[in-house]
Amino acid sequence: MMDNIGYALATDLDGAFPTVVKQMGTRLYWGLRRISADHQEAEDLTQETFIRAYKALGAYDSRRIREMKLEPWLWTIALNLGRNHVRDRSRRPIWVELEDTGTDDPEIADGQAWDQRLGCLNQHQRTAVVLRHVIGMGIPDITAATGRPAGTVKADIHRGLAKLKQVMEDET
């Protein structure tokens, strides 16, 4: 899916970028939503990730854009922004459309229950489990996105899932 978009971005950044937002926006938003458990934060972070990505791509040469793995790269930006989010919040300009200031929360059924369960995991486990099982990323991509070794990522996922099982058993 992403191979063609890399080529399109390298030849026409402005023309192809909205497609990236459409294809990746849902995945980034819902991943960040499950990691942060907050609609507003996930929305801000998704938006800011794309804005940073667009600026960065404008400075890259076309070969670098063609050869990059777009999704893990976007996740690296998103996760870094998430870490600095509280510190940066006041500095970032907020862009809102006039008509839908305070956008509707698109939360799905069971979302809150799962946020509560995921809240029992530590941040590394939660991120790894979300990227692997909610977003469906492979281990190499998660390794690239988080900057953590493959073995550590696998252990985070394993322990995270075990904890979720435990939490769900305790619920019944």
In the chain, how long is the greatest CA-to-CA distance? 55
CB of 46 to other proteins, least distance (A): 6
Q: How far apart are CA 28 and CA 49, in angstroms?
A: 9
Q: Is 22 in the site for other proteins (CB under 8 A)?
A: yes
Q: How far apart are CA 136 and CA 118, in angstroms?
A: 16
Report DSSP state, residue 123.
H
Number of residues that bind other proteins (CB under 8 A): 48
- Over its C-alpha atoms, the chain yields an Rg (Å, rounded) of 17
Which 23-82 positions form the footprint of other proteins (CB under 8 A)?
25-27, 29-30, 34, 39, 43, 46-48, 50-51, 54-55
Q: Which of 5, 9, 17, 77 is close enough to bind other proteins by CB under 8 A? A: 17
Q: Which of 2, 7, 8, 21 is close enough to bind other proteins by CB under 8 A? A: 21
Contact 123, 56 (CB under 8 A): no
Q: How far apart are CA 46 and CA 116, in angstroms?
A: 22
Q: Where do contacts with other proteins occur on this chain (CB under 8 A)?
A: 14, 17-18, 21-22, 25-27, 29-30, 34, 39, 43, 46-48, 50-51, 54-55, 93-101, 103-108, 110-111, 114, 129-130, 133-136, 161, 164-165, 168
